[in-house]
Each structure stands twice: as C-alpha cells, then as structure tokens.
Amino acid sequence: MIVYDLFCSEGHRFEGWFGSSDDYERQRDRGLVSCPQCGCDKVGKAPMAPAVPTKGNSRSDARPKAQMSRGEMPPEVQNALKVLAEAQAKALEKSTWVGDKFAEKARSMHYGETDEAPIHGQATRDEAEDMLAEGISVAPILFPIAPPDELN
Ligand SMILES: [Zn+2]
C-alpha cells in the first residue's frame, strides 16, 4: 500500500491509499479519486516534502553555506561596505595575484623559502584550514575580486 497526500481543485487536502502509484494514476484517470469534502474529482498529489538524508551524506552536510540577505540594505551598511571594499582594493594593490598557487606560495614564505611579499589568490577550504593550522596567517578576501585575466 502507498499513501498519498492529495488535494482537490478547491484546495481541500486529504489522504488517499492505493495499491501502487500506477493504481493511483488509473483510479484518478477514471475519476474514481474524489475529494471526501466536496466530491470533486479534480485531484492531484500534494508536493512531496523534500527527502531528508539519513546517513552517508555527511559530505554535503559539511559544505559551508553562504550567508545571504535579500532586500534593500540601509545606506549606512552600503557606505560601510563601500569603504571596506575600497580599503580591500587598496590593500590588494600592493599584493600579487598568484591564482591557485596561493597555498604553495604562502607556505614557502612562511617557511622562509621565498621572500615575504603580499600575495592573494585562491585556496580551497581544506588548504585554508591546513595553513591556519600551521600558523600561516591567511585571511579570506571579504569581497570577491575578479582574477586578473593573464593568469587564466
Ligand atoms: Zn474538495
């Protein structure tokens, strides 16, 4: 047996029990499925609740989620963000884009194999965590920047 959450064209919601999903479709097509409240036979399945992964899915659970907001930001927030974005742009002017070699370069500077210089680039979350664990001072770029074309 299979139970479906059904609703009619009037918006009444009710449960229907069927032998199988084919059975449900056959009965519905023949007008045998009707709303117990108003008797109308224009019924449909209610949208299923999203499946909740029970186990073996910790990978996607561990994926970091971005914080977002929608709607108008107050002007003081917009101004503050603009000031920060400009400060970041200014700081990065003296810094060299190293693309996805960031972890490699940052590590070699940290261990004295390369001269210290400001750099910025891309690192995976794992690389960033490893670097922080090794005591390498790295920080995320607050405002996404467009990578320079010549390194693509
Ligand atoms: Zn109804």
62 confidence band (pLDDT: 50, 70, 90): low
Contacts of 38 (CB under 8 A, 6+ apart): 8, 10, 12
15 C-alpha vs ligand 1 centroid, how far in Å? 12
Check residue 51 and give its pLDDT. Answer: 56
6 C-alpha vs ligand 1 centroid, how far in Å? 10
Strands 96-99 and 119-121: parallel
pTM value? 0.48
29 C-alpha vs ligand 1 centroid, how far in Å? 17
DSSP string of 49-102, one letter each residue = PPPPP-SS-HHHHHS-------SPPPHHHHHHHHHHHHHHHHHHHTSEEEETTH
Whole-number Å distance between alpha carbons of 109 and 92: 18
**Two tokens at 11?**
């918006």
Check residue 149 and give its pLDDT. Answer: 66
In the chain, domain spans = 2-45, 73-151
